Amino acid sequence: MSMYTLKGVSLIGEDPASTSGSEFHAVDPGSGEALAPVYRSATAADIERAVQLAAGASAALAQTSGAERAALLRAIADELEAARADFEALVPRETALPQARASGELGRTTGQLRLFANLVEEGSWVDARIDRADPARQPLPRPDLRSQRIALGPVVVFGASNFPLAFSVAGGDTASALAAGCPVIVKAHPAHPATSERAGAAIAAAVQRCGLPPGTFSLLFDAGHAVGAALVQHAQVSAVAFTGSTAGGRALMDLAAARPQPIPVYAEMGSINPVFVLPAAAQVRAEAIATQLHASVLQGVGQFCTSPGVFVIPAGGDGDALRDALRARFADSAAAVMLTAAIAQRHAQGAAQLGAHADVAALVAPVQKAGCAQANLFEVSADAFLRDPHLQEEVFGPTSLIVRTRDAAQMLQLAAALPGQLTVTLLADEADYAAAAPLLLQLPRNAGRVLMNGVPTGVEVCAAMVHGGPYPASSDARSTSVGTAAIERFARRVCYQNVPDALLPPALQEANPLKIARLVDGVMQR
Amino acid sequence: MSMYTLKGVSLIGEDPASTSGSEFHAVDPGSGEALAPVYRSATAADIERAVQLAAGASAALAQTSGAERAALLRAIADELEAARADFEALVPRETALPQARASGELGRTTGQLRLFANLVEEGSWVDARIDRADPARQPLPRPDLRSQRIALGPVVVFGASNFPLAFSVAGGDTASALAAGCPVIVKAHPAHPATSERAGAAIAAAVQRCGLPPGTFSLLFDAGHAVGAALVQHAQVSAVAFTGSTAGGRALMDLAAARPQPIPVYAEMGSINPVFVLPAAAQVRAEAIATQLHASVLQGVGQFCTSPGVFVIPAGGDGDALRDALRARFADSAAAVMLTAAIAQRHAQGAAQLGAHADVAALVAPVQKAGCAQANLFEVSADAFLRDPHLQEEVFGPTSLIVRTRDAAQMLQLAAALPGQLTVTLLADEADYAAAAPLLLQLPRNAGRVLMNGVPTGVEVCAAMVHGGPYPASSDARSTSVGTAAIERFARRVCYQNVPDALLPPALQEANPLKIARLVDGVMQR
């Protein structure tokens, strides 16, 4: 299969983007070598053109049928699959992730696109509600009221570094925004520009193949933050989606909130994803738990949003045995190259800060090497952990902190004190259920997803998934960035009162031509 | 029926509130007379106690069953009805609204509470989603995932001045937040403290009667803005609901966005609620339209969020005839007392500014009297209206601006240029439908509710209602403050992964003990 020729410039509609923006290039994280081609940051004119094209496409895209949007999403999935060889070459080179990961992540990405295609083709996601007129009602007649969800308008998506396909240019944010009928402008992550360009070209080809306006999708490059900031502040942009650091997400939240017309920001940020090991589980299966947790932390060199950073383990002999089993596995981990040199450096700093903390003991002594990470494991008492909020902050990478709790009461106290989390996990045997019950009442208050006897890495793409959580895990606890409910982020409800049937959108017409589920006079009908 | 004895202090749990706060009193808007009793603003200690009680009640309230919350909402409705005589005395005295309005609004308020009671008793609003496990799936087994909506936590509600019952202490925001399982702290509107206290006492009695924690509901008084600001900034508060001015709503949005942990603000703010009169309708029924629009503007002395402030009317003879019919009715309107002297003054200022505008013609010459409003009607060309954004701002009260459009294209241009609206109305005959169709595609982009051949005043409380709209009509276009969907503002989704059935909340248990509608493996089931 012939390789796509990378152009090194933003993709905006059908005309070439400016080549006068500042230069940058990707870096091979393993060798530190600069990678070709040189990329050009988008200019102010590029930004303006991308946003105007998106705004111009907005009404047409919002009015496409679910079937038309499904065709687009499937065409994108097909175009991405046709580029499999390109991704298998580009992703490892730019991210140090193995080829098998690139290939697996491509499957997740196309599966996600096709899931949204099915959702909007079926159509019930618009949540149609019909309350029919009652002209005889006293004291006043009741009007005919019908509401459904419609697209918000142009969405800016920030590609994430840690999932160069599934949370980047053609990832879940883009898929769900297009599914809702919103034009998308992606700000590419500068760490994988070639992967981004290839995915962007696949989307642009699909847009063209489906006969949709070119403003449906644009991809802008930037080595720094200026392009992203300008997009978030642009009056024609309606919403923002981001996956990344708390600092980065908060900066976008603040920009969006300060606009003359504030817009929603869906930022999926950091999380320490605590794992609570209950006493019976610790006693019965310490070795199995240690293997499971160690594997979860090492997945993707700890660069998953849901990587478990804290293990809450009871004090005493059984807890000690689990601690020792974890120590043995962490001590035995090979060093691995991280996504970028900067991420590796921040990881090393975070680990060093933990190691230097007066109340924290280092359980392993990894050799730190530039660009790489080796697994770290630390231990602290729950008393100290509860005292110092810094210990509750994420260290992005394969570093975990064991927190030892005195008793069930302290475990519950710790659960209640947690800042917002993407996930919290309980490892519990049947003998632990009495202790698990109050934790299961508390933990949903602090997290988007509560797991039992599993690991938080691996985020299923389905209707019930919640990948989000109270701040600072995400900017908006009411939303999820993974699963079909992610589409709701990019829609709002509009109500039609006494509008004649012929002038109503199809989802609300009396005959239900789309055959969707609708709430009619309080009863769910199909 | 014996009148409840007003105490003049905040209602916080079961102990009396502080009497050391600054004093204020309501004013009879008709006479300007100070009304007894003297009220005390909540102190910092009052605020802290109210929030801590709410936070303490939060988990218990979130875990009540839908049936328990339904009982609370119905008990509140009963308590309010038992106080009917009190409201019929207090509301007119504090607001200058007639007794019939107090009585009608009480019915709306109790109806609203009972609607939410039915909603949560039925229970499907939690949007339960179940994706069952598939241990045989390749390459990895699929876990069991189940999600549902849960309560956000303590909600601060700001009472609105213009609906002293239905959008105040026991109004839709309080009803929907309690329905979701959130404790509520109301900051009473200082213009109707006695009405507020009476409604607060009814809620407190219902909370006690239902055996719920006293922190379920508190009512705080304040003559100024300090108490509200402190509540919005308090770390234990999870969300804010507000109905009022754009300036007030935006101030709360900015405070909430600047918190260490930002929280959602649902502010329903101003709107000019334009009415587009299409040519055939103007030609065929000018007199009827003039009567209908004039009555809508005059309702509640123009003090409805959905009062139509702009009439878009074609140029030419038919439009002139409609303009003249409107002028005749507006000229013939009696002066009426507004809710407060300050509102009347702002209304007079707004009308004076319109009258002084170089491009605007005054069609009637009302006599302005302190505390009162008489209807104003102005006229401007669409060209001038489109040029000056100030002309697109709300004048709260019975003042309307006729905007004359050259042709259908300019009407569409004007529709596209509108800032966010709560409502937009089309008055159209069948001969207008061809012109109405493109407007009906455009207007949902700018408004929460689109009406045909009706008036925007009168907001039906039902499943399909959207009372909200793009900024600046509301802070969050994804939400509605009226109707059953208002409950979604105070909930977020949480997901359970591989949690054993016995430890799951009832809504997600395999046997569906609550008998609610659930999305199971992609299929809606009951």
Nearest residue, CB atoms, B464 vs list A63, A124, A146: A146
Å from A283 to nearest chain B CA?
20
A97 lies in the same domain as A149: yes
A326 lies in the same domain as A194: no
Å from B152 to nearest chain A CA?
8
Assess whether pLDDT exceeds 70 at residue A275: yes
Structure tokens at A225: 């933050």
A281 lies in the same domain as A423: yes
How far apart, in whole angstroms, are the C-alpha atoms of residue B200 and residue B86?
A: 13
3-state secondary structure of A185: strand
A361 lies in the same domain as A425: yes
For B432, nearest residue in chain A (alpha carbons): A503
Residue located via tokens 């240019």 = A169
Residue located via tokens 């709410």 = B54
3-state secondary structure of B234: coil
Contacts of B417 in chain A (CB under 8 A): none
Residue window 154-183, chain A: list those with CB within 8 Å of chain B.
none
How far apart, in whole angstroms, are the C-alpha atoms of residue A121 and residue A72?
A: 11
Cβ distance of A496 and B460 shorter than 8 Å = no
Cβ distance of A59 and B264 shorter than 8 Å = no
E strand or H helix at A71: helix A66-82
Which of A492, A501, A504, A510 to substitute to test the interface with B, most B CBs within 10 Å?
A: A492
Å from B354 to nearest chain A CA?
24
Å from A337 to nearest chain B CA?
25
For B132, nearest residue in chain A (alpha carbons): A464
Is residue B506 assigned to a domain? no
How far apart, in whole angstroms, are the C-alpha atoms of residue A259 and residue A517?
A: 37
Contact of B497 with chain A, judged by CB distance below 8 Å, is answered with yes
Is residue B429 assigned to a domain? yes
> Can you give the pLDDT at residue B1?
47
**Residue A85 burial (CB count, 10 A):** 12
Structure tokens at A508: 């609300």
Contact B441, B434 (CB under 8 A): no
Q: How many residues does chain A have?
A: 526
3-state secondary structure A423-459: EEEEECCHHHHHHHHHHHHHHHHCEEEEEECCCCCCC
**Residue A361 burial (CB count, 10 A):** 13
A300 lies in the same domain as A361: yes
Å from B277 to nearest chain A CA?
15
Largest CA distance in chain A: 80
Is residue A515 assigned to a domain? no
User: Beta partners for B220?
Assistant: B187
B263 lies in the same domain as B279: no
Contacts of A235 in chain B (CB under 8 A): none
Burial of A194 (0-12, 13-18, 19+ CB in 10 A): buried
B248 lies in the same domain as B301: no
Q: Give A15's pLDDT tier (boundaries 50, 70, 90).
A: confident
Nearest residue, CB atoms, B150 vs list A62, A444, A452: A444
What angle do helix axes A66-82 and A193-209 make, rounded to 10 degrees? 140
What is the domain range of residue A205? 11-269+479-488
A153 lies in the same domain as A18: yes
B32 lies in the same domain as B166: yes
List of residues 6+ apart from A169 with CB closer than 8 A: A157, A159, A186, A188, A195, A196, A199, A200, A203, A219
Contact of B515 with chain A, judged by CB distance below 8 Å, is answered with no
Cβ distance of A462 and B153 shorter than 8 Å = no
Contact of B441 with chain A, judged by CB distance below 8 Å, is answered with yes
For A145, nearest residue in chain B (alpha carbons): B464
Å from B2 to nearest chain A CA?
29
Structure tokens at B477: 């276009």
- Closest alpha carbon to B396 in B288, B307, B503: B307
Is residue B3 assigned to a domain? no
Nearest residue, CB atoms, B494 vs list A444, A472, A500: A444
Nearest residue, CB atoms, A463 vs list B143, B420, B519: B519
User: How many inter-chain contacts (A to B, CB under 8 Å) are there?
Assistant: 216
What angle do helix axes A246-257 and A226-233 make, rounded to 10 degrees? 40
Please state whether the peptide bond connecting residue A472 to the residue before it is cis, i.e. omega within 30 degrees of 0: yes
Domain count, chain B: 2
For residue B206, the domain's CATH number is 3.40.605.10
Burial of A171 (0-12, 13-18, 19+ CB in 10 A): buried
How far apart, in whole angstroms, are the C-alpha atoms of residue B285 and residue B378?
A: 21
Contact of B472 with chain A, judged by CB distance below 8 Å, is answered with yes
How far apart, in whole angstroms, are the C-alpha atoms of residue B206 and residue A349?
A: 55
Nearest residue, CB atoms, A464 vs list B131, B258, B433: B131
Contact of A38 with chain B, judged by CB distance below 8 Å, is answered with no
Q: What is the pLDDT along chain B (526 residues), one digit of tens a residue?
A: 457 999 999 999 877 788 899 999 999 999 999 999 999 999 999 999 999 999 999 999 999 999 999 999 999 999 999 999 999 999 999 999 999 999 999 999 999 999 999 999 999 999 999 999 999 998 889 999 999 999 999 999 999 999 999 999 999 999 999 999 999 999 999 999 999 999 999 999 999 999 999 999 999 999 999 999 999 999 999 999 999 999 999 999 999 999 999 999 999 998 999 999 999 999 999 999 999 999 999 999 999 999 999 999 999 999 999 999 999 999 999 999 999 999 999 999 999 999 999 999 999 998 878 899 999 999 999 999 999 999 999 999 999 999 999 999 999 999 999 999 999 999 999 999 999 999 999 999 999 999 999 999 999 999 999 999 999 999 999 999 999 999 999 999 999 999 999 999 999 999 999 999 999 999 999 8
Is residue A457 assigned to a domain? no
Cβ distance of B499 and A440 shorter than 8 Å = yes
How far apart, in whole angstroms, are the C-alpha atoms of residue B293 and residue A28?
A: 68
Assess whether pLDDT exceeds 50 at residue A437: yes
Is residue A377 assigned to a domain? yes
Nearest residue, CB atoms, A497 vs list B139, B140, B451: B451
Contacts of B461 in chain A (CB under 8 A): none
Residue located via tokens 């499999």 = A84
Cβ distance of A129 and B519 shorter than 8 Å = no
Distance of CA B47 to the CA centre of its chain: 24
Give buried/exposed letters for B438-466 (b at 16+ CB in 10 A, else e): ebbbbbbbbbbbbbbbbbbbbbbbbbbbb
How far apart, in whole angstroms, are the C-alpha atoms of residue A274 and residue A418?
A: 9
Is residue A255 assigned to a domain? yes
A316 lies in the same domain as A235: no
Distance of CA A283 to the CA centre of its chain: 35
Cβ distance of A497 and B452 shorter than 8 Å = yes
Assess whether pLDDT exceeds 80 at residue A2: no
Backbone Cα Rg of chain B = 25
Contact B402, B378 (CB under 8 A): yes
Cβ distance of A499 and B143 shorter than 8 Å = no
A238 lies in the same domain as A282: no
Contact of B135 with chain A, judged by CB distance below 8 Å, is answered with no
Sequence letter at residue B201: A
> Can you give the pLDDT at residue B18?
86
Contact of B59 with chain A, judged by CB distance below 8 Å, is answered with yes
- Closest alpha carbon to A97 in A32, A192, A8: A192
Cβ distance of B143 and A460 shorter than 8 Å = yes
Q: Which residues of B are catalytic?
A: 268, 305
List of residues 6+ apart from B295 with CB closer than 8 A: B455
Predicted-assembly ipTM surpassing the 0.95 threshold:
yes
Q: Taking residues A90-111, report their average pLDDT.
A: 97
B186 lies in the same domain as B294: no
What angle do helix axes A317-331 and A286-298 make, rounded to 10 degrees? 40
CA distances to A521, B59, B124, B525 from A524, rounded to whole Å, are 8, 31, 10, 10
Burial of A5 (0-12, 13-18, 19+ CB in 10 A): exposed
For residue B348, the domain's CATH number is 3.40.309.10
Å from B254 to nearest chain A CA?
7
How far apart, in whole angstroms, are the C-alpha atoms of residue B217 and residue B234?
A: 16
Contacts of A436 in chain B (CB under 8 A): 503
Is residue B469 assigned to a domain? no
